[in-house]
Amino acid sequence: MHWVSLFLQDVVLPKSGPLGFSIIGGTDHSCIPFGQHKPGIFISHIVPGGVAALSGKLRMGDRILAVNGRDVSKVTHEEAVLALLEPCPEILLKIQHDPHPEGFQEITLIRQEGEKLGMHIKGGLRGQRGNPLDKNDEGVFITKINSGGAAKRDGRLKVGMRLLEVNGMSLLGASHQEAVNTLRYSGHQISLTVCKGFERGDIERRASTSEGSRSVTQSMSSLDREDLDTDVFKQEEEMKKELVEWEKEEQEERKENLELDEVREKSTPEMVSEF
């Protein structure tokens, strides 16, 4: 289905049970990867088969402007939640169909018999930040594609991509371990929704502006195996190490032991609420 950018629409949903969608954002919480130039309240996930999905009028990334006539374009996350939870037989949403995030695509991988997915991820709540360009970004990112596995064979997944959904399960607001488990047990056929996250060139340009460096140990989580180590490092050091690791991977094409890192809490964390 194709959507017209910034198209406004009124959507009425019956409220006899769960509405079947989740929201992200608010004036006090991150809404990344949506609304990067104009924050707000966004639909972060549509539950397959739910009320919202059956309406055929809502999609991931839609901006909620009003709930039952109440403006929620500049409210806190909690205020938006309260507006959506108000008791009523039906709910009227004023929706703005914002463009999808840059690089948005849906990819289906079919694993061969005994084949591993063959990629590593980093990020998520309570995990080391996966975006070396933004220490406050709590998204889940692809940090390595193994030389063997379904991801490499398919060729469409790239290092730096942001993972939004796996088999209909949203990774927005998911913890690192939840993201790892969702991917690890995703089955023979894996449907992934991704968008642009970061690119190597961006990191190189950022790192080139920093002076000095020291040896650091980077942490990621493999979907095939994982180790545990705890440490917190500065963002510039992470970017430098990212470049070193990529150079090493290109030359050696070998598997690495991957680690999890404990991270400091963000003052305005990403919050997702389901309805």
DSSP secondary structure string for all residues of 22-59: EEEE-TTS--TTS-SSS--EEEEEE-TTSHHHHHT---
Mean pLDDT of 137-162: 94
10 Å CB burial of residue 72 (0-12, 13-18, 19+) is buried
Residue recorded with tokens 């006899």: 16
Residue-wise pLDDT tens digits, 99-123: 999 999 999 999 999 999 999 999 9
Distance of CA 132 to the CA centre of its chain: 14
CATH code for 7-97?
2.30.42.10
pLDDT of residue 251: 55
Give percent of the chain above pLDDT 70.
73
Mean pLDDT of 116-138: 89
Q: What is the pLDDT of residue 244?
A: 61
Residue 224 is predicted with a pLDDT of: 54
pLDDT of residue 11 exceeding 90, the answer is yes
Q: Which two tokens stand for residue 195?
A: 């968008």
pLDDT at 225 over 50: no
User: Is CATH 2.40.50.140 the right assignment for the domain spanning 101-202?
Assistant: no
Q: Is the pLDDT of residue 254 over 90?
A: no
Mean predicted confidence (pLDDT) in 182-199? 94
Q: Is the pLDDT of residue 4 over 50?
A: no
Which of 4-18, 100-114, 238-252, 261-275 has the lowest average pLDDT? 261-275
Q: Do the strands 119-123 and 140-145 form a parallel or antiparallel pair, or are they unpaired?
A: antiparallel
pLDDT in tens, 24-39: 999 988 899 998 788 9
- From start to end of 125-246, where are the E strands? 140-145, 162-166, 169-170, 189-195, 221-222, 227-228
- Whole-angstrom distance, CA of residue 17 vs CA of residue 271: 22
Closest Cα to residue 46, out of 33, 57, 36, 38? 57
Mean pLDDT of 207-234: 47
Query: In the numeric block, which tokens belong to residue 32?
Result: 């990344």
Q: Comparing 7-97 with 101-202, is the CATH topology the same?
A: yes
pLDDT of 178 higher than 80 = yes
What local confidence, expressed as pLDDT, does residue 24 receive? 94
Listed range (15-24, 116-125, 186-195, 218-227) with the worst mean pLDDT? 218-227
117 burial (CB, 10 Å; 0-12 / 13-18 / 19+) is buried
Question: How far is residue 245's CA from residue 148's CA, in Å, rounded to a whole number?
Answer: 18
- Using the CB atoms, write b or e for 233-257: b if 16+ within 10 Å: bebbbbbbbbbeebeebeeeeebbe
Percent of the chain with pLDDT over 90: 58
User: Where do the structural domains in the chain lie, given as residue ranges?
Assistant: 7-97, 101-202
Q: So what's the pLDDT on residue 41?
A: 97
